A = this chain, B = another copy of it.
Amino acid sequence: MSLLAVGTVAFDDIQTPFGHAEKAVGGAATYITLAASYLTNDIRLVSVVGDDFPQATLEEMKKRGIDLAGLQIKQGEKSFFWAGKYHIDMNSRDTLDTQLNVLADFDPVLPEPYKKSEYVMLGNLTPAVQMRVIEQLERPPKFLAMDTMNFWMDNALDNLMEVIQKVDALLINDEEARQLSGEYSLVKAAEKIHKMGPKQLVIKKGEHGALLFEGKHIFFAPALPLAEVFDPTGAGDTFAGGLMGYVAKTGDFSFDNLKKGIIFGSAMASFCVEKFSIEKMLELDSELIKKRLQRFVDLVNFSGIEADI
């Protein structure tokens, strides 16, 4: 079923303890669509790049079945650029540079078929731009999810709250959930955020896994313990792409199915961090993904505990 992904397609300059990637391909929508492309077809991308963005990457995306009709290419302009440096713990990073470029006046335009998309993932963007996408949808999607970040909580909270009110699921990290709710406990944060609109809340905790809240129900998915994390950039977006790709593939967004979607998302994210930039996300196949999923099953699986007390 159709999945619409909106977000940045961009360049990253990434420094980690393992190396330095200059002008590497990145962007939320890049990671979301690539991850989803291993799970479902009919993926539509809405974004904007300058004419500096590599045609080869766009060809790779097309080859993976990603529809780029909604990707604006601005002649004579430059793509969005972000530079960051990760700390040794890989869970925190400093932003060294942000150049909005084409993103400064991005006005998303949905091609006609996109307006009837069944599943929608709004990557982290100016809330007003996210809202512009929602406004163009001709009918409410079956499942609408969004990501955001603390920057918008600091600088565009009113707009952000309007978008949050309209989505089914909000995907943010633990610090963002605490900031948005004013609660330190994630359980209490989830209660407050449910009241803001989203029926489902996914809290991403990086190397500490992810939590799914739906009313009183809680599900926890671990991150895969890895010997090496080369580059965490895009892990959260890859997670979102895996989750939404799975939801779109199965057409099922019940709590039980979202659990599985979160495991898929975690599995895709565990690949993403193994190489710099989108490199790993171009070389997967279903056999590798199957094996990775089995590792998640093994990691948390236990049975027969009820009999022991």
Contact = CB atoms under 8 A, between A and B. Distances in A.
Interface string A74-104: 0000000000000011000000000000000
A291 to B, nearest CB: 10
Most buried by B among A89, A264, A306, A309: A309
Number of identical monomers bound together in the oligomeric complex: 2
B306 A290 contact: yes
Contacts of A184: 88-89
Contacts of A246: 308
Given A299-B218, A305-B297, A309-B289, A225 B260 contact: no
A228 interface: yes
Contacts of A217: 298
A186 interface: yes
A226 B88 contact: no
B302 A225 contact: no
A106 interface: no
A187 interface: yes
Contacts of A219: 298-300, 302
Given A219-B299, A264-B305, 15 more contacts: A185-B225, A185-B228, A187-B226, A187-B227, A205-B208, A208-B208, A217-B298, A218-B225, A218-B298, A219-B300, A220-B225, A246-B308, A260-B302, A290-B309, A294-B306
26 contacts: A39-B309, A88-B184, A89-B184, A185-B225, A185-B227, A185-B229, A188-B227, A208-B208, A209-B209, A211-B225, A218-B299, A219-B298, A219-B299, A220-B225, A222-B222, A249-B308, A256-B302, A260-B304, A263-B302, A263-B305, A264-B305, A264-B308, A289-B309, A293-B306, A297-B305, A300-B300
